[in-house]
Amino acid sequence: DTGVSQNPRHKITKRGQNVTFRCDPISEHNRLYWYRQTLGQGPEFLTYFQNEAQLEKSRLLSDRFSAERPKGSFSTLEIQRTEQGDSAMYLCASGATGGISSYGYTFGSGTRLTVV
Amino acid sequence: AQSVTQLDSHVSVSEGTPVLLRCNYSSSYSPSLFWYVQHPNKGLQLLLKYTSAATLVKGINGFEAEFKKSETSFHLTKPSAHMSDAAEYFCVFRNFGNEKLTFGTGTRLTIIP
């Protein structure tokens, strides 16, 4: 068990460019979650998957954001036409069936996005 | 709205003295409540969780929290602070049947040597 892995750790991009982040969850976890954390705030929920199915999306996830988990293992989060307001830490977490009431989430260290 | 409120954005205590981080919740139902800790450049780590079992919950590293329905509170305590406790602490709420976690704004704990 190597924990939840997120890549890259840091990403600097120019406004208007597309970026993609990757999350590798703990292998036996079938649930995967994305959160966004801006400076001085707590993380905010974006979306979650059970296996490959995306079961819930926050209204924070605008049309420029898309998340996938094609084989129920790793997940990608893509932001198209980035804006300065997208600058944040993007956190991934995974959990097992039974949900957080049983096991809690395990969070990755995050990808810090800076849009210049 | 159902949520959590962390009453202090910053708490400073001397090493070896007690720690109290305050959290109030707002919910129409019996919620699940958690405390997470975030050290600089590290991921969020679960300290403890309340899921309608025992109201006094013991967590890792000597932390504990008590669920008080009458006060709608879930304060985090530790008898004796250690330098390694310096971090950001988040009180977190989850409504019944919902996978989404709602985080408070965080409390930064500073330990004075």
pLDDT band for A23, please (50, 70, 90 cuts).
very high
Query: What pLDDT digit, counting tens, does each position of B6-27 carry?
Result: 999 999 999 999 999 999 999 8
For residue B18, say if its preceding peptide bond is cis, omega within 30 degrees of 0: no
Q: Do B43 and A91 touch (CB under 8 A)?
A: yes
Using an 8 Å Cβ cutoff, are A37 and B88 in contact?
Answer: no
Residue A14 has a pLDDT of 97
Sequence-ordered list of residues with C-beta below 8 angstroms from that of A41, at least 6 positions apart, any chain: B105, B106
Query: What pLDDT digit, counting tens, does each position of A35-73 carry?
Result: 999 988 899 999 999 999 999 999 888 899 999 999 889
CB-based contact (8 Å) between A105 and chain B?
A: yes
Q: Do B43 and A109 touch (CB under 8 A)?
A: yes
Q: Which of B32, B46, B105 sits opposite A42 (nearest CB)?
A: B105
Q: Do B46 and A99 touch (CB under 8 A)?
A: no
The minimum CA-CA distance between A17 and chain B, rounded to whole Å, is: 25
Residue B1 has a pLDDT of 63
CA distance A107 to A103: 12
Cα atoms in the 13 Å half-sphere on the side-chain side of A3? 12
Of the candidates A29, A14, A23, which has an alpha carbon nearest to the alpha carbon of residue A98? A29
Give me the DSSP letters along B26-94: E-SS--EEEEEEE-TTS-EEEEEEE-SS-SEEE-GGG-EEEEEGGGTEEEEEESS--GGG-EEEEEEEE
Residue A99 has a pLDDT of 53
What value does the mean pLDDT of chain B take? 91
Q: Which of B41, B100, B105 sits opposite A56 (nearest CB)?
A: B100
- Interface mutation target, options B9, B25, B36, B44, chain A, most CBs of A under 10 Å: B44
pLDDT band for B86, please (50, 70, 90 cuts).
very high
Q: What is the C-alpha radius of gyration for chain A, rounded to an integer number of angstroms?
A: 13
Of residues A61 and B78, which shows the higher confidence score?
B78
Q: Which of A58, A100, A109 sits opposite B94 (nearest CB)?
A: A100
The amino acid present at A30, given as its one-letter code, is: N
Q: Do B43 and A4 touch (CB under 8 A)?
A: yes
Residue A89 has a pLDDT of 96
Query: What pLDDT digit, counting tens, does each position of A81-104 carry?
Result: 999 999 999 999 998 766 554 556
Residue identified by tokens 């954001």 is A65
The amino acid present at B58, given as its one-letter code, is: K
CA distance A113 to A18: 12
